[in-house]
Amino acid sequence: MSKKRKLSDIRKKIIKGTANVYTVQDLINRINNNEKIQFEDVDVVTTATKALMSGIAGIFSFRLSPPKTIRKFMDVSLNGISAFPGPCPNEFLGIVDLILYGTAQSNTIKNYSGGILFRDLVEGKEVDIIAKGEEGEIIEKKITLHDMQFARMMGTRQAIRNYFAMINPSSEKVNTIFSVLPLEGNYSQMSFSGCGAMNPFQNDPKADVFGVGTPILVNGCKGYIFGPGTRNDKLKPNMQTIADFKGMKPEYMGAFQTSYGLENICSIAIPIPILNEKIFQNIIKSDNDVPLVILNVIGRNKLGKITYGDVWDNNFLVKFNPKKCKDCDECPVEEKCPTKAFNMNTGIDRSRCFNCGTCFFLCPKNAFEADLKTVKFETKEIPIILRQSDRYGAIKLAEELKHMILKGEFPLKEPTGKLEFAEKVK
């Protein structure tokens, strides 16, 4: 008879302090140590991803003027980024509701996007608001997250079931969202995205255990899944999420400068209660079992396939060795680090570092340590020059979720509805 357990029994074990809760990485480490793991050994696993996710927006509501002074706000910008006022007009209330895209760019600050603004707000920084009323009135104000009555992050397409590796087969280098420096041609470099075996959908591909209404962590704050995301299909499922900005942690969010513009960083962690053997079989897979498809960066046609075991192998952290730093006149790492995490004098700011590996290639004095791997593809050996998912950060978030569950601070709940995915993107 196939083995099963009830969510209520897991909850009782958590209260008694006897539940077995692990991150996926804990299990991978044990499997790699040749430990045999049984259904009985695991009640819950925590999965996570920290990656570039363009589909995020902020929904805000705050007061800009006393009641009765302005009928309605028409144009509103935050640090020079245009937002969409509404949909509620808040007539004569002096309050504005608005939506601001994570991918929107500032008209006043160079290389500044919604993703950076969201992090600045969470860090408690003041932002400049310029708002125009219906009669042409101009309101200029500084505001913090604390001043906002409502501030939520909505994810329209998140935690997609892993992603792809990219190669440029052409003879010309190309600027792309899949590289920090232009991606060199002739199959000479590879970048990739995806947290491999840690990814939530990798561990529950059909969303049998989580779904609409499941509590999750978004950037370290408790939030919810509220449906399947845009451009979903059964092969690449993803989700829509909602969470309060108040309570998020800056280290899990922000923006990443690619050679074709800024992308948002976002982190999602999801608990998976092991309710039956089918779910158990999904979670005991290693990175070697998770395929990583290689695409042509121009046109995205498939070129080949490797596994996440070829790119992730306990090589998650990038380190800086100050003894090897020669204080160059101009430091290319300071200039090009995609998250502005590096300073010659203070080293790596770990709350900003994405462990992407760009510094490892940029520093001529080998002051950085990283094991980015080289991939065998046909007859070539192609070095990975960029990781666009931060597995180290994902593991950290999964650890946080694990400890919250064990301490009884995170509810395990049945979803209220199933996430239904399309057969194929139309």
Sole window of 68-76, 142-150, 355-363, 408-416 interacting with ligand SF4 (rule: CB under 6 A) = 355-363
CB of 326 to ligand SF4, least distance (A): 4
Residue 365 makes contact with ligand SF4 by CB under 6 A: yes
CB of 159 to ligand SF4, least distance (A): 21
CB of 166 to ligand SF4, least distance (A): 17
Residue located via tokens 């199959």: 187
Identify the helix (H) or strand (E) that includes residue 282. helix 277-283
Residue located via tokens 């060795």: 321
Q: What is the distance between the alpha carbons of residues 151 and 354, in angstroms, rounded to a whole number?
A: 25
Q: Where are the alpha helices (DSSP H) in 284-385?
A: 332-336, 358-362
Using a 10 angstrom Cβ sphere, with 0-12 exposed, 13-18 middle and 19 or more buried, the burial of residue 346 is: exposed
| Contacts of 174 by beta carbon, 8 Å cutoff, 6+ apart | 168, 182, 183, 185, 297, 298
Residues 284-343 that bind ligand SF4 (CB under 6 A): 318, 325-328, 331-333, 337-339, 341-342
Q: What is the DSSP letter of 424?
A: S
Name the CA dihedral angle for 105, 109, 110, 111, rounded to a multiple of 10 degrees.
-50
CB of 314 to ligand SF4, least distance (A): 16
Q: What is the distance between the alpha carbons of residues 113 and 61, in angstroms, rounded to a whole number?
A: 19
Name the CA dihedral angle for 53, 175, 341, 163, rounded to a multiple of 10 degrees.
30
Query: Smaller CB distance to ligand SF4: residue 248 or 341?
Result: 341
Instruction: Give the pair of three-digit tokens for residue 243.
Output: 């969470």
CA 243 to chain centre: 14
Residue 359 makes contact with ligand SF4 by CB under 6 A: yes
Residues 235-274 that bind ligand SF4 (CB under 6 A): none
- For ligand SF4, which residue of 122, 166, 269, 356 counts as binding (CB under 6 A)? 356
Sole window of 7-15, 211-219, 223-231, 357-365 interacting with ligand SF4 (rule: CB under 6 A) = 357-365
Query: Smaller CB distance to ligand SF4: residue 64 or 183?
Result: 183
Query: Smaller CB distance to ligand SF4: residue 94 or 357?
Result: 357
Q: What is the DSSP letter of 41?
A: G
- For ligand SF4, which residue of 112, 118, 245, 354 counts as binding (CB under 6 A)? 354
Per DSSP, the three-state class of 256 is strand
CB of 15 to ligand SF4, least distance (A): 40
Sole window of 17-25, 92-100, 270-278, 350-358 interacting with ligand SF4 (rule: CB under 6 A) = 350-358
CB of 316 to ligand SF4, least distance (A): 11
Q: Where are the alpha helices (DSSP H) in 98-230?
A: 114-122, 200-203
Residue 363 makes contact with ligand SF4 by CB under 6 A: yes
Query: Smaller CB distance to ligand SF4: residue 7 or 328?
Result: 328
Question: Which one-letter amino acid corresponds to residue 313?
Answer: D
Residue 118 makes contact with ligand SF4 by CB under 6 A: no
Q: What is the distance between the alpha carbons of residues 242 and 56, in angstroms, rounded to a whole number?
A: 10
CB of 324 to ligand SF4, least distance (A): 7
Query: Smaller CB distance to ligand SF4: residue 240 or 259?
Result: 259
CB of 216 to ligand SF4, least distance (A): 25
Residue located via tokens 């064990």: 406
- For ligand SF4, which residue of 357, 375, 393, 402 counts as binding (CB under 6 A)? 357
Q: What is the distance between the alpha carbons of residues 361 and 189, in angstroms, rounded to a whole number?
A: 12
Query: Smaller CB distance to ligand SF4: residue 206 or 365?
Result: 365
Query: Smaller CB distance to ligand SF4: residue 239 or 325?
Result: 325
Q: What is the distance between the alpha carbons of residues 197 and 331, in angstroms, rounded to a whole number?
A: 35
Query: Smaller CB distance to ligand SF4: residue 70 or 331?
Result: 331
Binding site for ligand SF4 (CB under 6 A): 318, 325-328, 331-333, 337-339, 341-342, 344, 348, 353-359, 363-365, 367
